[in-house]
Amino acid sequence: MKYAVIKEYQQRFDVRMMCRVLSVSRSGYYAWDKRPETYRDKANAQLAVEIKDIFDDEKQRVGSPRITQRLRASGHKVSKNRVTRLMRQQGWRAKGVKKFKATTNSRHNLPVAPNILRQDFEAEQPNQKWVSDLTYIWTNEGWLYLAVVLDLYSRLVVGWAMAERMTATLVCDALKMALWRRKNPTEVIVHSDRGVQYCSKEYQDLLDKYGLFCSMSKKGDCFDNAAMESWNGSLKVEAIHGEQLLTREEAKKHVFEYIEVYYNRRRFHSKLGYISPESFEKQVA
């Protein structure tokens, strides 16, 4: 299959260079090139090129399931097994998961809200249930902290904010964006962990002001906020892991591109039937 890719691109790139990059011999490639090519070989070679185009367009963020769905959306009748096999042959793998430490500081004496959500991450309409959390991004200048609010109905990121410090103001700014974006809905369940920022008077007063219901996870139970933890994992794997971000300003631009350009508008979400959160909301509206 590597030979087929070299043949496909030989008018654009030097054969010697491609053989070196793909770790194959030129003599082997030329010997293969002289053999008659079957229809299946040609079809696989062309499909591999289209897979690579999607893989690169997604910045190597996605594996065969989402690539298969993008191929089908463009009119290809192709199975996931075939895409998986071709990607494995080429050594194309989505970025892997890396463990990250928790950011929650729940060692405080502030009041804690009950767990209203109770691990029920299904919502029948927008602005019924929001989940929120804090995560962090390393740059050469130091840490950058990100607060996010996610609508469980469509998994759309409705609010987010970034700052150099994990403060109550940071989580309030993310919630304010969500309120502005959703035109100030009331009686929304807003779930978070028991972090000091979420238990702060500033944050609790904001919830009360807009008639929102506060819900908090049990102490040390990451499953109580699993949907938000999953989003954090996607961010780290798809946008942060493997990147060297020199400045906080560069990191801010990077996160903005991931949330507003890619995740909300383009990223296929398996729970939504492999369409983006924004497309899901437009489709159901």
Which residues are CB-contacts of 124 (< 8 A; sequence separation ≥ 6)?
153
Radius of gyration of the chain (CA): 23
User: What pLDDT does 106 receive?
Assistant: 56
pLDDT (average), residues 98-118: 70
Residue 13 has pLDDT above 50, yes or no: yes
User: What pLDDT does 19 receive?
Assistant: 87
pLDDT (average), residues 256-279: 92
Residue 5 has pLDDT above 70, yes or no: yes
Mark out the alpha helices in 22-139 (DSSP H runs). Answer: 26-34, 39-57, 64-73, 80-90
User: What pLDDT does 97 receive?
Assistant: 47
User: What pLDDT does 172 receive?
Assistant: 97
What is the pLDDT confidence band of residue 37, given thresholds at 50, 70 and 90? low
User: What pLDDT does 198 receive?
Assistant: 96
* pLDDT tens digits for range 169-203: 999 999 999 999 999 999 999 999 999 999 999 99
- Helix or strand (DSSP H, E) at 151: strand 142-151
Cα–Cα distance between 170 and 163 in angstroms, integer?
7
User: What pLDDT does 101 receive?
Assistant: 47
* pLDDT tens digits for range 65-97: 888 888 888 788 888 888 888 888 777 777 654
Could you tell me if residue 59 is left (phi over 0), alpha (psi between -120 and 50 degrees) or otherwise beta?
Answer: left
DSSP for residue 95: P
Residue 12 has pLDDT above 50, yes or no: yes
Mark out the alpha helices in the chain (DSSP H runs). Answer: 2-9, 15-21, 26-34, 39-57, 64-73, 80-90, 168-181, 196-199, 201-209, 226-235, 248-256, 277-284
Residue 174: Cβ-neighbour burial (10 angstroms; 0-12, 13-18, 19+): buried
User: What pLDDT does 100 receive?
Assistant: 42
Residues 168 and 200: beta-carbon distance below 8 Å: yes
Q: How many of the other CB atoms lie within 10 Å of CB of 244?
A: 8
Residue 223 has pLDDT above 80, yes or no: yes
133 or 97, greater pLDDT: 133
Tell me the average pLDDT of the chain.
Answer: 87
Predicted structure pTM score = 0.71
Q: How many of the other CB atoms lie within 10 Å of CB of 154?
A: 25
User: What pLDDT does 149 receive?
Assistant: 98
Residue 38 has pLDDT above 60, yes or no: yes
Lowest mean pLDDT among 100-109, 189-198, 200-209, 243-252: 100-109
User: What pLDDT does 190 receive?
Assistant: 98
41 or 10, greater pLDDT: 10
Helix (H, G, I), strand (E, B) or coil at 85: helix
Work out the percent of the chain whose per-residue pLDDT is above 70.
92
